[in-house]
Structure 1
Amino acid sequence: MEMVEDYVSGSNMQRRDAQDVIDEFNCELSNMRGKCLDIGSGPGNITKELLLPILPHDAEVVGADISEAMVNYASQKYNDEKRLSFVILDIETSELPSNQVEQYDNAVSFYCLHWCNDIWRALQNIYKLLRPNGKALVMFLGYHSGFEAYLQLKQYPRYQSYLQDACRYVPYFQRRMCKDVRASLRKMLEDVGFEILHCSKREKSYHYSKQSLKNHVCAVNPFMKRLPDDMKSEFIDNLLNEIMNQNVLIPLKSKSKSSQEYLILRYYLLIAYVQKPASAI
């Protein structure tokens, strides 16, 4: 996801869901004092516009993302905000930078952890980044049919060489086909060492026009930069067709005079609010 402007304009679903979680955990967030890490902050708009205003006025926020392009964009766009900074950080790294370990009083992450191939390591790293008593609020995709379309496109001879690792981009719990996703996440969090304050699975849906769906899949597609320019438009069209062919899109006629139809795409989110024990070493 190096196309920063495309992501900003095509991530309305992510923004809405982040706002919903922020509203639900308003009380908890408004008490997050000290230094807060926003994991997977991307272009920084959610961090700046939704998260920062709800935190205490003396709280400091560090946005972290694996993408240098995203971090550079956020750093330049929000360089006038003294309480906000951005760093490049791979939350799946096998060795965290020593100057980051136990440097944060709180952490949040919205729409990031489903991109992690090794979510166990990502959660371990969040644990290590927090100080004792530190709390973390995370929200990520547990299942989304769009990822199944990647696996279908991998079967196309034309795309095979570009999508060899397509499974790597399917959310962890989706590719594991867990029967009880919430229970699996709870056990993982407990095994890492967290005390669980909240853990839930939420069914969600989002209305798309065909154009807004196209904007969305372009914004979050990990394969676009690999494809030759003359294949990109065709690839996106085939991706949209595969999503529609899975019978998860329900036509909904527009209330306006236009003939445009809107589509309902269903998915589910996992939300966890956890704490690192005071006794953690």
Structure 2
Amino acid sequence: MNDNAKLYSSVGQLQKQGIAETLQKYVKLVRFKDKIKVLDVGCADGGLTSEILVPNLPPDFDEIIGMDISPKMVTYAREKLKANAKFSFVQFDITSEQIPEKFYEYFDNIFSFYCFNWISEHKHPQALKNLYKMLKPGGYIFLVIISNSQVFDVYETMSQSEKWAPFVKNVRETVSLYHFIEQPQLKLNKFLKSAGFDCHLCTLEEKCYTFTNLAHFWEWAVSINPFYKKIPENKLQSYQEDYLKEFRKHKNVFIELSNREEKIRKPYTTLVACASKPEEV
């Protein structure tokens, strides 16, 4: 994704609304102990961690660590939440071959929101094995993953155009692997079981978010676009025009005119999974 932390922080309402709704519906499946230590994988700017996740945790939680692959996101989150002693943030690639020794069976609960859709299929097993290693026996993980979104189709289409192919490459290594397969919940369930987890929930959720105007949508689209920084500056205007043209074509995009501004209603689909590590391993 784009690692512009300030932009991501300012336009991330789609993510916050979607995760808040999902947690309200399913967090009851997660078993919490007293004085828990919590990990948020793919924390980005820390907004979801502090504003959405924390209110769903027991008030007596001991510690929460946000983890992200982007040094810029981690630096931003640290500055943003430095006043709270229970928060800390670390830069780490969850697909790495080894985890930091101090994190082995360290966490009671692990959450990850809209992170695993950035992880390619061949790296999924390692990422889940790492979660398993970091989780205490009896601990729970809770994952929310984007499985279907119109922006993935736009990337795919633009990667096939002569004009944008030099900049939009390896799309299927960059966007959610679950977008391109039928019954993605079966795939995720298989991954979880292979990593050693007992799976309690693995389901698809239909979501929707309405952007108040085209400018709002475009800022959000840029904030998650992994190809945007690869576009030459003198081609950015043309890229925006072509991107929006392709996006408008999508059958699941709904646009209405209100006070001379376009409101964009964007449905999308998420995978929601809750799983636990056996007490005795």
Q: Tell me the TM-score normalised to structure 2 length.
A: 0.91
Partner in structure 2 of residue 272 of structure 1:
273
Partner in structure 2 of residue 195 of structure 1:
198
Partner in structure 1 of residue 217 of structure 2:
213
Contact 1:119 1:172 in 2 (8 A): no
Match 2:250 to one of 246, 249, 257: 246
Counting only pairs closer than 5 Å after superposition, residues 72-151 of structure 1 correspond to structure 2 as: 72-117=75-120, 118-151=123-156
Q: In structure 2, the residue corresponding to 1:142 is in which secondary structure?
A: strand
Runs of 4+ more than 6 Å apart: none
> For 1:261 and 1:231, how far apart are their aligned partners in 2?
24
| Counterpart AA for 1:140 | I
Cα drift, residue 26 of structure 1: 4.5
Partner in structure 1 of residue 162 of structure 2:
157
Cα drift, residue 28 of structure 1: 5.1
> For 1:73 and 1:272, how far apart are their aligned partners in 2?
28
Partner in structure 1 of residue 48 of structure 2:
46
> For 1:251 and 1:275, how far apart are their aligned partners in 2?
41
Contact 1:142 1:174 in 2 (8 A): yes
Contact 1:114 1:141 in 2 (8 A): yes
Gaps of 5+ in 1: none
Percent identical: 27
Match 1:58 to one of 54, 57, 60: 60
Gaps of 5+ in 2: none
Cα drift, residue 252 of structure 1: 2.8
Number of aligned residue pairs: give it: 275
Q: How well do the aligned residues superpose, as a CA RMSD in angstroms?
A: 1.8
Partner in structure 2 of residue 31 of structure 1:
32
> For 1:180 and 1:29, how far apart are their aligned partners in 2?
24
The Cα offsets for residues 31-82 of structure 1, whole Å up to 9 and x where unpaired, read as 3542100001100011112222332233210000000000000101111101
Contact 1:29 1:54 in 2 (8 A): no
Q: Tell me the TM-score normalised to structure 1 length.
A: 0.91
